[in-house]
Structure 1
Amino acid sequence: MTETVKISNTGDVSEVSVNNSNPTSEFQNIQVAYRLNGKNYLKWSQLVRTFLKGRGKLSHLLGTGPKEGDPKFDAWDEQDSMVMSWLWNSMMPEISDTCMFLNTSKEIWEAVKQTYSKVRDAAQIYEIKTKISSTKQGSRSITEYSNLLQSLWQEMDHYQCIQMKCSEDAALLKRFVEKDRIYDFLAGLNVEFDAVRVQVLGKEELPSLNETIAIVRAEEGRRGVMVENSQVDSSALVTKAVSERRFGLEQPNSEDNRQTEGTKPINRDSVWCTYCKKARHTKERCWKLHGKPQTTNKNFSEKGGQPKGQGRVYTARQLDGKNNS
């Protein structure tokens, strides 16, 4: 951006051009994210090339600028010195020190490329393939998981570049590689995506990689909505139960229900009848006072009634007659 200001020695304004654009500060923002450390050459080189190309300075890396003696050489050489400083500042100190005394941006670029690019390096290809095969979704979202795999696949394409002479063979190879990556992607999904995995593999024609990722991402979204709805329903049920308990709306229908709400079970050995002076029942359930219930079975005494072996059972009328006699 160019700003025009007019100033004169007498206070009058004359025309002066001020350039507010600061490409150095812009490049510093990029350096922070990707400084060359010896292991990230691929991403670093792509970023530097894009930055310089966007500012019309890619010729400094290619060495295609004007030659000495050309009227434009001095201006171009000044710009080349600026590009050299950008390159040095975008590297870790231990790397920039190794190319500090080179003379041009192209020399720096080529020296770093030969040292760190590892193009067609078998060990690098093996390392990437190992990472791909061991990458699983785990706690990642589908987007995070697919982005990680695609980053590794792009690195593999860089290091394992296969040139096909026939366009038809190239198309077949591309589809073969894509299918292989679909299998890698599906194999690393969590078990909750088994159904959608079967759905994709069961298609007569396997969808593209991007379509496969979109299908799984849609299933992830659907499952997320279902979980949210179930959580809302559960919260509503809990709120209803608390409200019923608070306002006395809950109707327990048995002794068992009351015990599930926190009531301790009755210890019948501690129960005492004030009428017959015996344990395991109360006066309200005393057979001597009220008579034996007709529905009582042989095990009733084991469930809290009158204990067995207490002698003859009298009704209240019989007791009154006996007392009067």
Structure 2
Amino acid sequence: MGDNDHSHPFFLHHSDHPNLVLVSKKLNGDNYTTWARGIHISLSVKNKLGFITGDIEEPSSSEDPDTHAAWRCCNDMILSWLLHSLKPELVESVLFSTTAQAVWDDLCERFSQSNIPRIFQLNRELATISQGTSFVSAYFTRLKGLWDELASYNEHCTCSYGAKNDRQ
């Protein structure tokens, strides 16, 4: 991997730094779905999504120390980004995790299932929504927003503990 290989997942741009803000609103527990979607998009743009999904596995430190060092540097940068995207009271619960994937899975397991009341509310809104005096475009925009948010609860979570399957 060359120092300028922008497509390589271990590449860190000169603008990447530990205090980088990936999402505008920090995770507080109630906003998990929108927070996770924002993190997902931000890491995808930076070609770092595999660090939280497990697609980019930790190389052996004994067999390939240089690649391991590059992986560790990127993993730690992503850990820092994730920690800076959490409210302080949540940081303490994941501070000693050693991989970005472990933090991602932990937060997914804890907070994705807490959205069951919101899923119920969305289903209720979808069942009772009507156009009323709204323009068709406004009605469709509201309907599509509800559909998309509901779909995100089934599609988005990539945690490995089964929370997605429990919801479905």
The alpha-carbon deviation at position 130 of structure 1 amounts to: 2.3
C-alpha separation between the residues in 1 aligned to 2:30 and 2:132?
25
**Match in the other structure for 1:147:** 141
Task: Normalising by structure 1, report the TM-score.
Answer: 0.37
* 55, 58, 73: which one aligns with 1:65: 58
Output the aligned Cα RMSD: 3.3
C-alpha separation between the residues in 2 aligned to 1:77 and 1:62?
16
- Higher RCO (C-alpha 8 Å, min separation 6): 2
Q: Residue 31 of structure 1 aligns to a residue in which SS?
A: coil
**Match in the other structure for 2:47:** 56
C-alpha separation between the residues in 1 aligned to 2:13 and 2:72?
22
Superposition pairs for residues 129-140 of structure 1, below 5 Å? 129-133=123-127
The alpha-carbon deviation at position 81 of structure 1 amounts to: 0.8
| Matched AA of 1:157 | A
**Match in the other structure for 1:227:** none
Q: 1:48 to 1:141 in 2, by over 3 A?
A: farther
C-alpha separation between the residues in 2 aligned to 1:20 and 1:62?
21
Q: Residue 56 of structure 1 aligns to a residue in which SS?
A: coil
Q: 1:159 to 1:153 in 2, by over 3 A?
A: same
Superposition pairs for residues 220-259 of structure 1, below 5 Å? none
**Match in the other structure for 2:84:** 89
C-alpha separation between the residues in 2 aligned to 1:50 and 1:106?
16
C-alpha separation between the residues in 2 aligned to 1:67 and 1:140?
60
* 92, 103, 110: which one aligns with 1:108: 103
Q: Residue 23 of structure 1 aligns to a residue in which SS?
A: coil
The alpha-carbon deviation at position 155 of structure 1 amounts to: 2.3
Superposition pairs for residues 1-325 of structure 1, below 5 Å? 21-24=14-17, 27-28=20-21, 30-32=22-24, 34-63=25-54, 64-69=57-62, 70-71=64-65, 72-118=67-113, 123-133=117-127, 143=137, 145-159=139-153
The alpha-carbon deviation at position 149 of structure 1 amounts to: 2.7
Q: 1:73 to 1:35 in 2, by over 3 A?
A: same
**Match in the other structure for 2:163:** none
The alpha-carbon deviation at position 112 of structure 1 amounts to: 0.2
Kept after mapping to 1: 8 A contact 2:18/2:80: no
| Matched AA of 2:125 | K
**Match in the other structure for 2:162:** none
C-alpha separation between the residues in 2 aligned to 1:100 and 1:82?
13
Kept after mapping to 2: 8 A contact 1:31/1:90: yes
Kept after mapping to 1: 8 A contact 2:122/2:150: yes
Q: 1:95 to 1:137 in 2, by over 3 A?
A: farther
Task: Normalising by structure 2, report the TM-score.
Answer: 0.66
Kept after mapping to 2: 8 A contact 1:88/1:96: yes
The alpha-carbon deviation at position 105 of structure 1 amounts to: 0.6
The alpha-carbon deviation at position 93 of structure 1 amounts to: 1.7
- CA radius of gyration, larger in: 1
